[in-house]
A = this chain, B = another copy of it.
Amino acid sequence: MNHMPGISVRTKERVFAAARELRYRPSTFGRGLVKPGQPTLGLIIDDLTNPYYPELASAVIGQAARYRWNVVLAETVHIQDKHQLIIDLSRQTDALLGYFSIDPEQLTDELAVTPFVQLDTAPPAPTGSVALDFRAAMDDLVEHLVARGIQHPALLDVTKPDATSARGQRFVDGMRRHGRHVAVTRIEESSMDAGVKGGRAVLSACPETDGIVAFNDVVACGVLKMLQLDGIAVPDRIRVAGYDGLTLGTFVTPQLTTIEINMRAVAETAVDLALGMYAGDLPMSGPECHRTVTHRLVVREST
């Protein structure tokens, strides 16, 4: 069936006829045993419906394709047992990358030899990891908003009650250095609808608000929508900024100022880490397989 030289046409046809008859398909496993094919990368994300993840996934798939790696994409939103997903996927792929977390205790002997690269995690991870450093960009945003004359900044954060996200805390601290107090409103869900409601809550808590920084671009789009619905001018009356740098931010009017993450850099860094660990050039954990990618302030129309 593999078109080897020296097979008579008659025989070949006879073989193919039998194959069709039996619905025969060569086994990936049998074949892979003899001649190894392309390795496979497992990419774990939350939900492609959240506009953040397609941009990440596209960048990762593109980078993986450069090395001829295949990518199995898994959405945790469909999965109940996330730890089991990691186990299953680690058995079926050659390296695992994305948004997931592994407790050091859960890191059994079996998993200890699998190349893992966790995204956007705090440095002390028992695996490879790529940290996202927003600090300078957030400081730039603070400077930018202050220069624009913001007096009453607000933060629309997505966290559990009484917690503040790291990025949000950076914003609060930065504004405090400029003598501005940030009014913090918290919502639990990251969605546009939540942004609409959250935006309303921000204004009813503090009507003189003249600047809103949202947890991310999706929420910021909700804020923009709410302001448009209520006839509040952006950026004249209230300035709005997001976080992530999604393409989505250029679709809305006014276009969204945002703290952009360089998805290509993240993907390149993470894939290179995973492939390096797979190839044995890097250990499975430790400082050698930790990288940092920095954010960048992108000023558009909404501020």
Contact = CB atoms under 8 A, between A and B. Distances in A.
A112 B17 CA distance: 11
Contact of A71 (B49, B55, B73): B73
A117 to B, nearest CB: 16
Interface stretch (A22-30, A201-209, A287-295): A22-30
A221 B252 CA distance: 8
Given A37-B91, A55-B49, A28 B32 contact: yes
Q: Could you say how many copies of this chain the assembly holds?
A: 2
A33 B27 contact: yes
Interface stretch (A57-65, A147-155, A156-164, A173-181): A57-65
Contacts of A61: 48, 73-75, 78
A36 B72 CA distance: 18
Range of interface residues on A (Cβ < 8 Å): 35 or more
A258 B133 CA distance: 39
Contacts of A36: 29
A40 B72 CA distance: 9
A83 B51 CA distance: 30
A283 B224 CA distance: 51
Contacts of A92: 28, 37-38, 40, 70
A247 interface: yes
Nearest to A1: B110
Given A23-B280, A33-B33, A113-B24, A65 B78 contact: yes
B38 A58 contact: no
A10 interface: no
Contacts of A47: 58
Given A48-B61, A248-B251, A19 B55 contact: no
Given A23-B113, A70-B72, 16 more contacts: A19-B109, A25-B114, A28-B32, A29-B29, A37-B92, A38-B92, A48-B57, A51-B51, A54-B54, A57-B73, A62-B77, A65-B74, A65-B78, A70-B89, A70-B92, A71-B72
6 contacts: A20-B113, A61-B73, A65-B75, A65-B78, A71-B74, A192-B250
